[in-house]
A and B are shown apart, each in its own frame.
Chain A
Amino acid sequence: MEPYELTLSDAAAAIAARELSPVELTDSVLARIDSVEADITAFVTVTEDRARAAAAAAEAEIAASGPRGPLHGIPVALKDLYDTAGVLTTSSSRVRADHVPNTDSAVAERFAAAGAVTVGKTHTHEFAYGATTPTTRNPWDTTRVPGGSSGGSGAAVAAGECMVGMGSDTGGSIRIPAAVCGVVGLKPTYGRVSRRGVASLSWSLDHVGPLTRTVRDAAITLNAIAGYDRADPGSADVPVPDFTALIGRDVTGLRVGVPTDYFTERLQPEVQASVAAAVARLGELGAELVEVEVPMASRIGAVEWGLMLPEATAYHQETLRSVPELYTEETRALLEVGEFVLATDYLKAQRLRTLVQAAWKELFSTIDVLAAPTLTCTATVAGEPEVVWPDGVREGTTTTYVRFSQPANVTGLPSITVPTGFDSAGLPIGMQVMGRPFEEDVVCGVAAAYEAVSGFAGQLAPLHREMAPA
């Protein structure tokens, strides 16, 4: 096994035991990037020199005084929405083709404090406004999309190009690429992690969080980045527990909500079957399965789009007028439409969000977590603008990808996706586990319980075999 194939947890254990050096690990990851990027294009920028310097510094410090924690010397990547001082930060857009921030984002600061080794900046669907990431390909099948908007991080983690890829999630943009790339994606509770220094898509719906190869790795990362930040107006001043605390615990008696609507409508049968089998495994592990109706299901999309469209347009209002030609046509069209949403519709979306939140609070009085398919379908062929369902309904690719993920954005609830298997084309499928506000430890515990018996923990995409010399 090459060092780049290790999970974060295994690499951290090897570093702590002095069996692996951060320099050796970083060299392996950079070589992996060099060997697969031509086929995947997960990265906008690879910060090779900075990474080697950080790895050398980590190695020296660890040799002298031991690791600061589990992220010390671990190769990580940041979505190109995250500001990184002195490093190009483009949001995968020509609008910011030359943008080099002077300061780090809050997460970049936290990673630096933890001693992580940043190997580069990953592609996003332009300004996070879409779920396919056209720049990048899926390492399970390079004719297909990696999901999005954090598609670069999803592809990079799945291909072994980093051990943590940071994402952002406004309608599902952490969980979508995680699910279609066969890895874990954790969207924390709204306000749990500071968004300072991360380009916004929608202030009231944006979350930031990690994509990793295991649930434990996601929880470890959240331990390092969670916490209050007054500079983020959405940041929540709440206690930060150890998010790994419930991993490995028995789930007997835990009430798992199983939706009988919304998450059952217009999805691929193989996705439905895989997630149903995963939920059944939770039942076999002792969880109590409780059938539930999804409250206000028909309203969720209206809230999501009613908030996101005008907020995104407000963020881009100046550049939409000064350099509109620099946006891709897809992004420009969405930003233009946002100009015409009525203020009263925007406020209705905010008021409806209050009602949706209350209804979901009531739902969670009868369950501890909700388990559902992360997505309606597996990875689509790159360039396909829509999915056609058996009943003839045509649904835009981004629209279908966010349909099952957006409830956790509207409600702000924590949600983690974990791999459950593959469709007949060999493409990954994911199940999301949603929980109560600030109970990321619970959703990680449940997801890890399933992961432990799933047979898919820590998987890498098979690209390394396909690309092996004959």
Chain B
Amino acid sequence: MSRALDAATFSGLEALTGLGMPPERAAAALAAYNGVLGTLAGLDGVPFGDTPPAAAFNASWE
């Protein structure tokens, strides 16, 4: 399933970020973001099961 945002929805998200984009920057960012969503579609449709994330945290102090 491909995802894309419209300008109104993107405007709401942009307000959450606090970036304060003027309309022309928001329009450009929306276009770029929808392009990125196309790339990130490669994350979809994978049977992850219990696969853990490749993140790391070391609790030792030394």
Residues in chain A within 8 A of chain B (CB atoms): 204, 230, 233-234, 298-299, 301-303, 305-306, 309, 320-321, 324, 333-334, 336-337, 339-341, 345, 347-355, 357
Contact = CB atoms under 8 A, between A and B. Distances in A.
B1 interface: no
A419 B21 CA distance: 45
12 contacts: A299-B46, A301-B42, A305-B39, A336-B21, A336-B25, A336-B32, A337-B29, A340-B10, A341-B36, A351-B53, A353-B54, A357-B54
A341 B62 CA distance: 34
Contacts of B44: 348
Given A298-B42, A321-B19, A339-B17, A351 B54 contact: yes
B40 A341 contact: yes
A234 B43 contact: no
B46 to A, nearest CB: 6
A230 B41 CA distance: 36
A320 B33 CA distance: 17
A129 to B, nearest CB: 13
Contacts of B41: 302
Contact of B56 (A233, A298, A305, A337): A233
B8 to A, nearest CB: 14
A337 B19 CA distance: 11
A305 B42 CA distance: 10
Interface residues of A, dominant DSSP: helix
Contact of B51 (A234, A334, A336, A354): A354
Interface of B: 10, 13, 17-19, 21, 25, 28-29, 32-33, 36, 39-44, 46, 48, 51-58, 62
Contacts of A334: 32
A333 B29 contact: yes
Among all A-B residue pairs, the 7 with the closest Cβ atoms:
A302-B42, A350-B53, A353-B54, A348-B43, A339-B17, A351-B51, A350-B54
Contact of A233 (B21, B43, B58): B58
Nearest to A399: B39
A305 B36 CA distance: 8
Nearest to B45: A299
A301 B39 contact: yes
B53 to A, nearest CB: 3
Nearest to A302: B42
B13 A340 contact: yes
B54 A336 contact: no
A347 B40 CA distance: 12
A454 to B, nearest CB: 35
A26 B33 CA distance: 48
Nearest to A235: B58
Nearest to B20: A321
Contacts of B46: 299, 348, 351-352, 355
Contacts of A340: 10, 13, 17, 29, 33
B19 A320 contact: yes
A339 B19 contact: yes
A337 B54 contact: no
B43 A321 contact: no
Nearest to A329: B28
Contacts of B53: 347, 350-351, 353-354
B43 A345 contact: yes
Contacts of B32: 333-334, 336-337
A142 B62 CA distance: 49
Nearest to B53: A350
A333 B21 CA distance: 11
A349 B54 CA distance: 9
Contacts of A301: 39, 42
A306 B58 contact: no
Contacts of B52: 351, 354
Contacts of A230: 62
Given A333-B32, A341-B36, A349 B56 contact: no
A314 to B, nearest CB: 12
Contact of A337 (B33, B43, B62): B33
Contacts of A354: 51-54
